[in-house]
Amino acid sequence: MLEVNKLNVFYGKSQALRDVSLRVEEKEIVALVGTNGAGKTTLLNTISGLLHPASGSVEFLGERIDRLAPHRVTQLGICQIPEGRKLFSEMTVRDNLEMGAYSSAAWKRKKETLERVYQLFPVLKERRNQSAKKLSGGERQMVAIGRGLMSSPRLCMFDEPSYGLAPKLFSEVLEVIKQLRGQGITIFLVEQNVRNTLEVADRAYVLENGQIVLEGKGRDLLQNELVKKAYLGL
């Protein structure tokens, strides 16, 4: 579904990604783990069209997308759930959700998609007329996920969904991610909470200093000595 090939990305003269290559197959949960500053968000922003690479390519469903504008990438079926949720705090829950259905095709399906979001997160239906600033951290994450789903994505990319959440709430988010995969949505999960993430991932990549240094099945990487020493404190 998604193929990244030898991607090089710069901020000015500073190189953020070096020859990054990875793939995401349909209906997989693929994880990208690493510490802060490794280049994880840079990769997501490049896939989304917010950044353009100096060299290399990104293909989605066989179409090259690394020179497309962000709205075109979204229209093709990719959504990004940003780190920190980035909600419009003065707007209602429902208004925040509907912001995700801005494309004409998604807007036509807005009503039925909104009901599916409410089925996934019943509390959001109860609070649909409340302003987002009154929500808890976990509820804000639900809104951010729901807003992404309003675009009817085929590939959903999560950027640090554990950010600011208690471990129990992050476990609940992972359960939602597994539900989405069960509904046919492919997941690309970017996280620094390595243990929990690798436990749910079909496959995973480890990113260090802008380079992929390891890849394999999620649970296999939990037994890797580098991962245990560098990320699990074992």
Q: Would you state the pLDDT for residue 162? A: 86
Question: Domain boundary at 137, 152, 167, which?
Answer: 152
Enter the tokens of residue 129. 């007329």
Does residue 160 share a domain with residue 73? yes
Confidence of residue 45 (pLDDT cuts 50, 70, 90): very high
Residues 105 and 161 in one domain: no
For residues 146 and 160, state if they share a domain.
no
In this structure, are 220 and 113 located in the same domain? no
Residues 233 and 123 in one domain: no
| Phi and psi angles of residue 123, each rounded to the nearest 5 degrees, phi first | -65, -25
25, 91: one domain: no
2-6, 80-84, 203-207: least confident range = 80-84
Whether residues 128 and 139 fall in one domain: yes
Same domain, 158 and 234: yes
Domain match, 1 and 72 both: yes
Q: How confident is the model over 121-150, as pLDDT tens digits?
A: 999 999 999 998 888 888 889 899 999 999
DSSP-derived secondary structure for 172-205: HHHHHHHHHHHTT-EEEEEES-HHHHHHH-SEEE
Our count of domains for the chain comes to 2
Q: Are residues 161 and 228 in the same domain?
A: yes
* 88 vs 221, higher pLDDT: 221
Q: What is the CATH number of the domain that holds 221?
A: 3.40.50.300
Q: Which residues contact 200 (CB under 8 A, 6 or more apart)?
A: 29, 31, 174, 177, 178, 189, 218
Range of 125's domain?
87-152
Q: For 20-88, where are the alpha helices, taking DSSP H only? A: 40-48, 70-76
Is pTM beyond 0.85 here? Answer: yes
Contact 24, 186 (CB under 8 A): yes
Indicate whether 7 and 72 sit together in one domain: yes
Q: Which helix (H) or strand (E) covers residue 216, if one does?
A: strand 211-217
- Within a domain: residue 82? no
Cβ–Cβ under 8 Å, residues 80 and 48: yes
Indicate whether 85 pLDDT > 80: no
pLDDT digits (tens, 9 = 90+) for 54-75: 999 999 999 999 999 999 999 9
Helical (H) or strand (E) element with 94: helix 93-98
- pLDDT at residue 165, as a whole number: 79
Q: Based on the fold, state whether residues 109 and 204 are members of the same structural domain.
A: no
Rounded average pLDDT over 179-204:
94
Asked whether the CA dihedral 39, 41, 42, 47 is positive or negative, the reply is: positive
DSSP string of 97-163, one letter each residue: HHGGG-SHHHHHTHHHHHHHHHHH-HHHHHTTTSBGGGS-HHHHHHHHHHHHHTT--SEEEEE-TTT
Asked whether residue 112 is domain-assigned, the answer is: yes
